[in-house]
Amino acid sequence: MNLSIDDKELNAKVGKMGEMKKAMPFVQNLKRRLIQGKEPPETVFERKLPFDEFAVLKEMIGGLKKTTGCKEIEIVAVDEGGKTGEVLGTGERREGLQAENAIPGQPSFHFENIAE
């Protein structure tokens, strides 16, 4: 496959969309995967992960508690924008989240002291 990418045009389009700092690492990763040619473009542009991210995070809870010393760990499916989300398992809504940088495959985390 012969692939040509006009970086100047790509950068201009991404710049117009805003959030250049967050978008460019994502775009560069897509570009690298396309250029390597190990995956078909349909796979590269598919927004789904090849694994169940929430299942992996659930499996990690025991180890995370032990490593961090945390007594409680919630996994929250964050809505677009990273300010709200739903706690997996309970369905409770969370507001005021600071998870703007969370993207598929790269979860965000937040630690908080809770008075007993």
Residue 77's pLDDT is: 93
What pLDDT, in 10s, does the model give residues 23-73? 788 888 888 888 888 888 888 887 777 789 999 999 999 999 999 999 899
Judge whether 2 lies within some domain.
no
Judge whether 1 lies within some domain.
no
Residue 83's pLDDT is: 93
Q: Are residues 20 and 33 in the same domain?
A: yes
**Which tokens hold the place of 55?**
């299942």
Cα–Cα distance measured from residue 72 to residue 112, given in angstroms and rounded to the nearest whole number: 10
Torsion from C-alpha of 110, 113, 115, 116, nearest 10 degrees? 80
Instruction: List strands edge to edge, sheet with 93-94.
Output: 76-78, 85-87, 93-94
Q: Which pLDDT band holds residue 4 (cuts at 50, 70, 90)? A: confident
Residue 65's pLDDT is: 92
Q: Average model confidence (pLDDT) for the chain?
A: 85
Q: Are residues 64 and 91 in the same domain?
A: yes
Which residues neighbour 48 within 8 Å (Cβ) at sequence distance 6 or greater? Answer: 104
Residue 116's pLDDT is: 66
**Which tokens hold the place of 3?**
């692939």
The domain containing residue 40 runs over which residues? 7-45
Q: Are residues 73 and 110 in the same domain?
A: yes
Select from 34, 37, 33, 15 the least CA-distant residue to 24: 15
Q: Are residues 24 and 74 in the same domain?
A: no
- Say which range, 2-6, 9-13, 38-42, has the weakest mean pLDDT: 2-6
- Decide if 84 contacts 100 (C-beta within 8 A): no
Q: Are residues 61 and 27 in the same domain?
A: no
